[in-house]
Structure 1
Amino acid sequence: DIFNADAKAEFVPCLHSVGKPLNNGAKDNGVWACAPVDQKYISQFPDEGLIWSYGSGYGGNALLGKKCFALRIATVLARKEGWLAEHMLILKLTNPEGKVKYVTGAFPSACGKTNLAMLIPTIPGWKVETIGDDIAWMKYGEDGRLYAINPEAGFFGVAPGTSAESNKNALVSAEKNTIYTNCALTEDGDVWWEGIGYPAKGNLVDWKGNTRPAFPKDKAPKGEEMAHPNARFTAPAGQCPCIAPEWEDPKGVPISAILFGGRRPSTVPLVHQSRNWNHGVFLGSIVGSEITAASTINAADVGKIRRDPFAILPFCGYNMGDYFQHWIDVGAAAKDQDKLPKIFYVNWFRKDENNADLPGGFMWPGYGDNSRVLAWIFDRCDGKDNAVETPIGFMPKEGAINTDGLADYYKKTLPEILKVDVEGWKKELKDIRENHYPKFGSHLPKELSATLDDIESRLNA
């Protein structure tokens, strides 16, 4: 039992090799060490508790304690032992009165997970601190609440796009004692990437090893990037300016809310809350992002939803239908159902392409202003009557989201992104019923099918 300090220790043997042995005195001449594509094997053996990683120098395949162990192997251990191993950030929220709550959140790639993990609030008096940015292990404490620990020692983040504006805390975290991969190198030995917030000077050595003149701005034309689009940094979590003092507490922190989210330009509102635990599992099971022209080479896929249930689809060590059932079972095992975390679905990415006033067409500013939604969630967990019941769950009452200091055009779009798009949700449920849930066959829990039927009937009422 991972959570039992007195239990007999178990060892998970791990092997990583880039598949490029060098003889004594030989050099690789700076060539990235990777085997050919058809000779890469990232293999987990859940029944044996064993990991083999061969041929890949990519950090996610080389840091075996991360996705390979802390998710793919750990999800199997969690199912066997009755806890949860999740692809989730952990936040500490403190309101102006000094009251503290802890929140976890699961978001697919490119949905603002790292930014949320290190968020700087825009509303006065609120404080956000980081417990973890990527993985959470959760188990019931003696008081009947779910407690989460961060099993990692640092951050493994995408460098391009990380700037003082988008994620200042991540940038500061990576100022020293940090490993960078596939970034550009400046003449004075510093690193640089597209979207860093300032142009480089002189010549740069790009991620392919070529020396080239720096661009006048911090963004290169597509295909000419100085840093690889997936260039990475890995930094000690203790260097993060907003790291919470209790981030390494072995007891973990008590979780009040669980968030799910995806990149959805339509239909899904800014925030809504599940009616109960199983409804929350349903929300986790349908997580996904809309495919855009920029994210696919197949024009026929544009507008479709790429589902990533619980944002853990590539990292779960067993059948996803059984994984859903495990979540349902964990909820049912709660000694006091009232102590279970409340579950929410958030969407920072609603768009109105025809509104010229909106930067990028986005109807919500995101980044630090997401603290306004976190404040509403905090109050919901505190028992505040600040919601109305709708066919898809609980949503903020009029005026429940703090808009002080928010740009006027976002104040105007807020009512629209807090409405229930009835026709849009009918199409959403149809897609889930016909295209998503059939993938899980007989493993799909009946409780999720029942929740789907219930929401559909409420929309048709």
Structure 2
Amino acid sequence: MLELNKGSDILTAVGGITSLEDAQAVLEKSLDKANLQKLSPITTVDALIKIANSIVICKPAAVFINSGSPEDVQWIREHALHKGEEKKLAKPGHTIHFDLPEDQARLVNQTYYIINEGEKISSLAKLLLRDEATQYVRQYMTGIMDGMTMIIGFYSRGPVGAEAAVPAIEMSSSAYVLHSAELLYRNCYDQFDREAERANIFFTNLHSEGKNRPEDVPNARILMDRSWLTTFSTYCTYAGNTLLMKKGNHRFCVDYATYHKKEEQLSEHMFITGLTGPGGRVNFCAGAAPSGCGKTTTAMVGSHFVGDDLAQIWIAADGTIRAINPEKGIFGIVEDVNREGDPYLMECLRGDGTEVIWSNVLIDEHGVPHWVGNGESVPERGVNFQGEWSPGKTDANGKPIPMSHKNSRCTLLASAIANHATEAAEDPAGVPIRVFTYSGRDSDTMPPVWAARTMDEGVVIGASIVSQATATEVGVTGVRRQPWANAPFIPGSLADYMEAQFVFFNSEKISAAGRPVMAGLNYFLTDGNRGGSGNKLLGEKRDVKVWLGWLERFAHGDVTGIETPIGYLPRYDDLKALFAEINKEYPESLYDKQFSLYIDNILHRLELQTEAYGKEENLPAKLFEVYRRQQAELTKLKEAYGPIVHPKQLA
């Protein structure tokens, strides 16, 4: 069980401020009259004490309170330019931010959960005992903002007033971080007190890039205090490590849902998008995928896009499963974003009128950003995060340097995208979810889409995601298990998180009409692994609309599936009709390649999962029951039809 406020609060232990009176004295000394006045609407005592302690520890030269007013937001933009954290580009409202070459993605090996003695955390996570973390903060954060301005903002992770929304404080010496926060989160400065009282919790995030030198990056740490819902981030600028309202606070939400909102809420690494079905009906889908595995592309395919990364989920009083996007913007990977696959996003990136912060792309001599896979001509020269670049440039080992980093990003308001369902996204009631999907980078085993036969099997699909490592994590390589695509963000016991999933989706609080379809997706099957040759994918981006379209119809009973041991597969005629709607031929030979069951591959995958999960303690027995049942059924199929089973043999 996660116990809140257990052990010493590191901010208080290092800063020494324990009372409101002492906090007010620090604030009156550190803030000028205008900013002290702006802070006056914030009366939550714990928040003021945390802010005061942060000031005492970091010792900034000045403190700026961001009220969210147009004037304050403009000051942040200009401060980012003045500091050199961002530079203007050719298009009005477009800026470029370069991270250090050593700081291009999540610093996985420098990210820790702060725990108390004797607490258990996920076997997939790194831990730091509270005393060690306190010593780190004392040693490395004392005076880290010397000569800098601390910027403080108050935000809501979700529409203000939503059941699963949580308020958060963001404190940083980086104007780029606060500029990003204004695009990604809802400023709730004037409603912070009320939201903190409603939610009964709030998150605190403290970051400083320090002097932003390559030699400091080895000392960088991203620390998350589970008990006190506080994050610390130092010596880095990549937003995934610094804008801790994103993945840092997502971890706290996962913890809170698992231990304090069991059978009520989930906090997931999922997109949310609405699909238009027959007769103009709109149904919403939420889907998990590791970063860099097509999550944003899938979200954008929907006719009513809500979010591309995170979802806060709960069971509503009417028996439906509801979800909100804790963010109001996107921090999206741009590699392979082009007009063919991502027309709505490209219109924002290449059109006029959208504010965009670019990071780690190539900027040509005309101030125009370029990136790998944009479907456009490559410039003859430019500047990227490594300096001057031209085609054919190589690194010290003779390896070609791409014009943009694989983890290059664009940050913009989601409402700028033409298919964004802004009204639904801002509704505190959330959107009802009819379909849940789980996917990864799987080149040889699972079909493009399949639907679970039961809620238990649906939970197991999420538990069984396997994916090739992507560029979003520094120092991570190879193919590995990615449970729910949420594993890097599960602080507590994996067994507890899994149990919460089984309990949630089997809850009697969910009405019959509200019970969702749970499914697997896989866009990364290759021809060479399905009887052909080479690494060419057996599909393309626009096919995603077909896979989601089939699930939408399956959820309504408009189509039926072929029952198999892994779940229901689509019938060829149903897919052919859906492909016709996107003006694409779909030969039956391709269907056979994509949807044949390669029994030995699936059995091997189940054996690997069984062995890996067998090393975990106290896992729900349901997981192994599902694995055993699927293994037995698959073995019978192999005995009847051989190692490769075609869908028509089962239909």
TM-score range, shorter chain: 0.7 to 0.9
CA-CA distance at 1:92 after TM superposition:
0.4
CA-CA distance at 1:203 after TM superposition:
3.2
Deviations 1:347-376 (A, max 9, x none): 1111113899999522223x1221111111
CA distance in 1: counterparts of 2:445 and 2:380, whole angstroms: 47
CA-CA distance at 1:109 after TM superposition:
2.7
**The one of 256, 260, 275 aligned to 1:77:** 256
Matched, 1:186 2:364: yes
How do 1:211-230 residues align onto structure 2 when only pairs under 5 Å count? Answer: 212-213=389-390, 223-230=400-407
Quote the residue 1:260 is aligned against: 438
Matched, 1:314 2:454: no
Rate the CA distance shift 1:157–1:288 in 2: closer, same or farther, 3 A: same
Quote the residue 1:51 is aligned against: 231
Deviations 1:312-371 (A, max 9, x none): 111122122211111111123332463221100011111113899999522223x12211
CA-CA distance at 1:383 after TM superposition:
1.9
How do 1:294-313 residues align onto structure 2 when only pairs under 5 Å count? Answer: 305-313=479-487
Quote the residue 1:25 is aligned against: none
Assess if the C-alpha contact under 8 Å between 1:18 and 1:35 holds in 2.
Answer: no
SS of the residue corresponding to residue 497 of structure 2 reads helix
Deviations 1:213-250 (A, max 9, x none): 4679xxxx953223222222111111111101311111
Matched, 1:65 2:245: yes
**The one of 433, 437, 441 aligned to 2:613:** 437
CA distance in 1: counterparts of 2:619 and 2:468, whole angstroms: 23
In the superposition, the TM-score normalised over structure 2's length comes to: 0.61
CA distance in 2: counterparts of 1:379 and 1:291, whole angstroms: 32
Quote the residue 2:288 is aligned against: 106
SS of the residue corresponding to residue 610 of structure 2 reads helix
CA distance in 2: counterparts of 1:178 and 1:66, whole angstroms: 18
CA distance in 2: counterparts of 1:361 and 1:183, whole angstroms: 26
Rate the CA distance shift 1:87–1:40 in 2: closer, same or farther, 3 A: same
CA distance in 2: counterparts of 1:290 and 1:203, whole angstroms: 32
SS of the residue corresponding to residue 130 of structure 1 reads strand
Assess if the C-alpha contact under 8 Å between 1:363 and 1:410 holds in 2.
Answer: no
Assess if the C-alpha contact under 8 Å between 1:355 and 1:361 holds in 2.
Answer: no
CA-CA distance at 1:10 after TM superposition:
2.8
SS of the residue corresponding to residue 552 of structure 2 reads helix
Quote the residue 1:426 is aligned against: 603
Deviations 1:357-401 (A, max 9, x none): 999522223x12211111110111102342121111111123121
Rate the CA distance shift 1:151–1:394 in 2: closer, same or farther, 3 A: same
Quote the residue 1:24 is aligned against: none
Quote the residue 1:16 is aligned against: 207
**The one of 337, 341, 366 aligned to 1:162:** 337
Quote the residue 1:141 is aligned against: 316
Quote the residue 1:383 is aligned against: 557
**The one of 579, 592, 595 aligned to 1:403:** 579
Give the number of the structure whose alpha-carbon radius of gyration is greater. Answer: 2
Rate the CA distance shift 1:429–1:296 in 2: closer, same or farther, 3 A: farther
CA distance in 2: counterparts of 1:278 and 1:147, whole angstroms: 20
CA distance in 1: counterparts of 2:515 and 2:374, whole angstroms: 40
Deviations 1:427-448 (A, max 9, x none): 11111112x2124x22311110
Quote the residue 1:36 is aligned against: 216
Matched, 1:459 2:637: no
Matched, 1:241 2:382: no
Matched, 1:209 2:384: no
Assess if the C-alpha contact under 8 Å between 2:415 and 2:421 holds in 1.
Answer: no
Q: CA RMSD in A?
A: 2.9
**The one of 325, 334, 356 aligned to 2:499:** 325
What letter matches 1:273 in structure 2?
A
CA-CA distance at 1:173 after TM superposition:
3.3
CA-CA distance at 1:451 after TM superposition:
0.8
CA distance in 2: counterparts of 1:34 and 1:92, whole angstroms: 43
CA distance in 2: counterparts of 1:410 and 1:256, whole angstroms: 30
What letter matches 2:614 in structure 1?
P
Assess if the C-alpha contact under 8 Å between 2:572 and 2:591 holds in 1.
Answer: no
Assess if the C-alpha contact under 8 Å between 2:526 and 2:534 holds in 1.
Answer: no
Structure 1 unmatched runs, 5+: 21-31, 120-126
SS of the residue corresponding to residue 187 of structure 1 reads coil
CA distance in 2: counterparts of 1:458 and 1:389, whole angstroms: 11
Quote the residue 1:26 is aligned against: none
Quote the residue 2:35 is aligned against: none
SS of the residue corresponding to residue 545 of structure 2 reads helix
Assess if the C-alpha contact under 8 Å between 2:355 and 2:413 holds in 1.
Answer: yes
CA distance in 2: counterparts of 1:74 and 1:442, whole angstroms: 23
CA-CA distance at 1:409 after TM superposition:
6.9
CA distance in 2: counterparts of 1:3 and 1:242, whole angstroms: 24
Aligned length, in residue pairs: 428
CA distance in 2: counterparts of 1:62 and 1:7, whole angstroms: 27
Quote the residue 1:128 is aligned against: 303
SS of the residue corresponding to residue 332 of structure 2 reads strand
Quote the residue 1:344 is aligned against: 519
Stretch moving more, 187-196 or 242-251: 187-196
CA distance in 1: counterparts of 2:483 and 2:241, whole angstroms: 21
What letter matches 2:542 in structure 1?
G
CA distance in 1: counterparts of 2:412 and 2:379, whole angstroms: 25
In percent, how many aligned pairs have the same letter? 28
In the superposition, the TM-score normalised over structure 1's length comes to: 0.85
CA-CA distance at 1:99 after TM superposition:
0.8
CA-CA distance at 1:84 after TM superposition:
0.5
SS of the residue corresponding to residue 574 of structure 2 reads coil
What letter matches 1:177 in structure 2?
E
Quote the residue 2:348 is aligned against: 173
Stretch moving more, 97-106 or 156-165: 156-165
Quote the residue 2:544 is aligned against: 370
Rate the CA distance shift 1:386–1:286 in 2: closer, same or farther, 3 A: same
Assess if the C-alpha contact under 8 Å between 2:334 and 2:371 holds in 1.
Answer: yes
CA distance in 1: counterparts of 2:534 and 2:579, whole angstroms: 18
SS of the residue corresponding to residue 155 of structure 1 reads strand
SS of the residue corresponding to residue 16 of structure 1 reads strand
Structure 2 unmatched runs, 5+: 1-162, 167-194, 637-651
CA distance in 2: counterparts of 1:354 and 1:9, whole angstroms: 51
Assess if the C-alpha contact under 8 Å between 2:527 and 2:534 holds in 1.
Answer: no
